[in-house]
Structure 1
Amino acid sequence: MHLDHAHTGPAAVSADSARPDGTRRALRIGLGGPVGSGKTATVAALCRALRDRISIAVVTNDIYTREDAAFLLRNAVLPPERIQAVETGACPHTAIRDDISANLEAVEDLEDSVGPLDLILVESGGDNLTATFSKGLVDAQVFVIDVAGGDDIPRKGGPGVTTADLLVVNKTDLAPYVGSDLGRMARDAAEQRGDLPVVFTSLTGADGVAPVADWVRERLADWTA
């Protein structure tokens, strides 16, 4: 069951797909996960993988800084005008689930200033396993965990792990060094998530973000259909 996400199937998207002028708005995908799991690196890799074929923008969330946006700008993954930073001033889940006004304003500003856009990625600040996005903000959500956080994370569950539209288990290259069992993580994730997809990534490898990029492309195809 998806908390705050009503789906009729894997291709389901929000019914509110139009902008006030009647044009189709961008697909919005949220990325959440614990601190250090690799959310910003995943966003950067997705931008590099997709930017030549589709029109993308990014909204980042940090509590008191603009560090994640600065990282994306330093790495030149998108032109500066396509990256907006939100300083939440409170727990990250507040700005993506409870009071989404700052994020929603940033999303709409991007569509007005650099649109038309195909995709907007909304990155949450680092939070715990309970982080979920409001369906008023995003159409689908990705939850990123990493093997260094412990191979028991999928078994512990929580809304982020169990209900996200895609679960990403990141930093698989570190598994031998931190004693994480990838097979165990896969089995536990499948038990917690049922038919919801899980992918394993290592962004240090060539095209390491490919499983996530492929999933995003499928969501975009559903959206534009």
Structure 2
Amino acid sequence: MHLDHRETFPERHTHGDFRPDGGRRALRIGIGGPVGSGKTATVAALCRALREEWSIAVVTNDIYTREDAEYLLREAVLPAERIAAVETGACPHTAIRDDISANLEAVEELEESVGGLELVLIESGGDNLTATFSKGLVDAQVFVIDVAGGDDIPRKGGPGVATADLLVVNKTDLAPYVGSDLGRMGRDAAVQRGELPVVFTSLVGEGGVEPVAEWVRGRLGAWR
């Protein structure tokens, strides 16, 4: 379930569609999903695919470390000043859905320090099928699952699978080795999601992130 925090933090310009200087603020897309599904790898691949087209920044969430941000820095997907880390100190759901103040502050500081941002990717800490982002934090959300977690995940549903603006089924290259039926996953996802889009990816393959990148491009085009 999304929660709207506009009354909680009314002073923050991150809630409006425009910055104080009158420019359109960055589109904010949340990336969530279970531990090990490939959230950080998806963020990294999106940065590589889109950084020549759009001005991008990233906010990562970890409970007690900055491991995901450090991974992105090591991979040099963006300059260091475009990557911010939030240490939630508690359940990752809290920082993206309930008390979103730390993430809002990180986004606001990036908007002010980098300037002219068009896209901010906000990665959740390792979560589960119940995790969703507050509407006060993101404009759209992507939920990443992987075939190694079992081909029954789409059938089990949950808010992340059923309601995310885009569902990504990752690590399709592993399907033959873990006994996952991709066709079944697609059919079950369609039952849970109706007309909401689903894409299948294998980030180890050339252009593996392209279906996700194309969806992001569409959202950015509509936003701008």
Tell me, yes or no, whether TM beats 0.5.
yes
Q: Please give the per-residue CA displacement for 1:99-146, whole angstroms capped at 9, x wherever unaligned.
A: 000000000000000011010000000101000000000000000000
1:156-175 maps to which residues of 2 (within 5 A)? Answer: 156-175=156-175
1:4 to 2, 5, 13: 2
Partner of 1:81: 81
Q: Aligned residues, how many? A: 215
1:134-213 maps to which residues of 2 (within 5 A)? Answer: 134-213=134-213
Partner of 1:55: 55
Task: Measure how far apart 1:5 and its partner are.
Answer: 7.9
Q: Which runs of 4+ in 1 moved over 3 A?
A: none
Q: CA RMSD in A?
A: 1.4
Q: Is the 8 A contact 2:3 2:136 kept in 1?
A: no
1:7-46 maps to which residues of 2 (within 5 A)? Answer: 16-46=16-46
Q: Which runs of 5+ in 1 are unaligned?
A: 7-13
Letter in 1 for 2:217: R
Give the whole-Å Cα distance in 1 for the aligned partners of 2:175 and 2:47. Answer: 26
Q: Is the 8 A contact 2:15 2:136 kept in 1?
A: no
Q: TM-score w.r.t. structure 1 length?
A: 0.93
Partner of 1:118: 118
Task: Measure how far apart 1:15 and its partner are.
Answer: 8.5
Letter in 2 for 1:177: Y
Give the whole-Å Cα distance in 2 for the aligned partners of 1:219 and 1:109. Answer: 23
Task: Measure how far apart 1:53 and its partner are.
Answer: 1.1
Q: TM-score w.r.t. structure 2 length?
A: 0.94
Q: Which runs of 5+ in 2 are unaligned?
A: 5-13
Q: Please give the per-residue CA displacement for 1:28-63, whole angstroms capped at 9, x wherever unaligned.
A: 000000000000000000000000111000000000
Task: Measure how far apart 1:189 and its partner are.
Answer: 0.1
Identity of counterpart residues, as a percentage?
Answer: 82
